[in-house]
Amino acid sequence: MTQNKDRLLSILLVSPSILAVLVFVYGFIAWSVRVSLSEWKGLLPDYTWAGFSNYIGLFSDPRFHIDIRNTLIFTVVFVAGSLLLGLGLAILLDQGLRGEGFFRSLFLFPMAISFIVTGVVWRWLMNPAMGSRMSGLNLLFSNLGLDFLVNRWYTTPTWGIAAVALAAIWQMSGYTMALYLAGLRGVPAELREAAQVDGATEFQIYRHIIMPLLAPVTLSALIILGHISLKVFDLIIATAGKQLPLDVPAIYMWQTTFDGYFFGRGAAIGILLLLSVAVLIIPYLYSTLKSEAEI
């Protein structure tokens, strides 16, 4: 009797949330799909069937080509940079040095700040002005005699987006460090000690024992960072504003929908973004939940 009452109550308790998620996530995705297959241009909704024309239009749209190129450059630089830096920092912090906690907190603090603040500050650090108006990091490099490092940052043709990725690395590498550090703490001390007894060098221990054990961490970090870079939006806006050379799908969607009222096209970009994220995240969710169930 109470069993049944409890079961009913538990369903009553969670159903508002479940319903909200079903409507606001899945219902809205379906609604977006419908908009993406419509002719909707302008302020008033127009659900006239347009087939896949919005999608086909995007793939022959030069702006969308720039977006794909920029997303690829950003993803490679940001993911590789964050992984390498995060791993390096985690290994450094795993050496039992004094002040470890302090450095760990320091490397992680950018995670607490918004992409907007990061972007606004890095906009000035990466000021591309040259000559007598030089400032920011360029000025610092020049004062330190490192003139070969002076560059045009986010105004560099084609590769400008990589400069924004640098700001993203600053923000997120601490997170990768935290993931790796948690992984390193999970390596049994006996394994390291046994290898030391066998005469392995520190480098060999990392190369042959620890790195293989960290492979799952690398995979999770890769997926989390990869999906973040597909969604990158506010950091670029705050660093450089809306500029075609630094355009990405998320910005294109926002601008074409809310500035240009091309709702059909905007929805199509949103759905393509969703598909690209789903390809990464669904297998990740599946394997994580499966291994959890096995424990």
Partner 1 sequence: MITAHKKPFFKAKYWLYIPLLIMAAFYLLPLYIMLTTGFKGFDEVNLRTMWDLPKGLKLDNFIAAYETLAPYLWNSFNMVIPAAIISSILGSLNGFVLAKWKFPGANIIFPLILFGMFIPYQSILIPLVEFMRRINLYGGLPGLVLAHVIYGIPITTLTFRNYYASIPKDLVEAARMDGADMLKTYWYILLPISAPAFVVVLIWQFTSAWNDFLFAVVLTSPSSWPITVALNNMAGSQIIAWNVQMAGSFLAAVPTLLVYIFLGRYFLRGLMAGALKG
Range 2-21, binding partner 1 (CB under 8 A)? 2, 5-7, 9-11, 13-14, 16-18, 20-21
Which stretch, 46-54, 64-72, 178-186, 206-214, contacts partner 1 (CB under 8 A)?
Answer: 178-186
39 to each of 31, 44, 255, how far by Cα in Å? Answer: 14, 11, 17
Strand partners, 186: none
Give the residue, chosen from 64, 74, 78, 107, that forms a contact with partner 1 under the rule CB under 8 A.
107
| Helices (runs of H) and strands (runs of E) counted in the chain | 14, 0
8 A C-beta contact, residue 57 and residue 265: yes
Task: Select the residue interacting with partner 1 from 41, 53, 136, 222 (CB under 8 A).
Answer: 136
Q: Does 277 bind partner 1 (CB under 8 A)?
A: yes
Kindly state the smallest distance separating residue 53's Cβ from partner 1, in Å: 17
CB 55 within 8 A of CB 36: yes
Work out how close the CB of 221 gets to partner 1 at its nearest, in angstroms, rounded to a whole number: 8
**DSSP assignment string, 83-94:** HHHHHHHHHHHT
Closest CA relative to residue 82, chosen from 187, 232, 274: 232
Under the phi-then-psi rule, with left for phi > 0, alpha for psi from -120 to 50, and beta for the rest, what region is 42?
Answer: left
Give the range of 47-55, 60-68, 153-161, 222-230 binding partner 1 by CB under 8 A: 222-230
In Å, how far from its chain's centre is CA 115?
Answer: 11
Q: Which of 139, 150, 195, 213 binds partner 1 (CB under 8 A)?
A: 139
Q: Provide φ and ψ at 51, rounded to 5°.
A: 60, -145
Applying the rule CB under 8 A, the residues between 27 and 86 that interact with partner 1 are 27-29, 31-32, 35, 45, 85
Residue placing its CB nearer to partner 1 in the complex, 153 or 170: 170
- Tell which positions 230-269 bind partner 1, by CB under 8 A: 230-231, 233-234, 237-238, 241, 249-250, 253-254, 257-258, 263, 266-267, 269
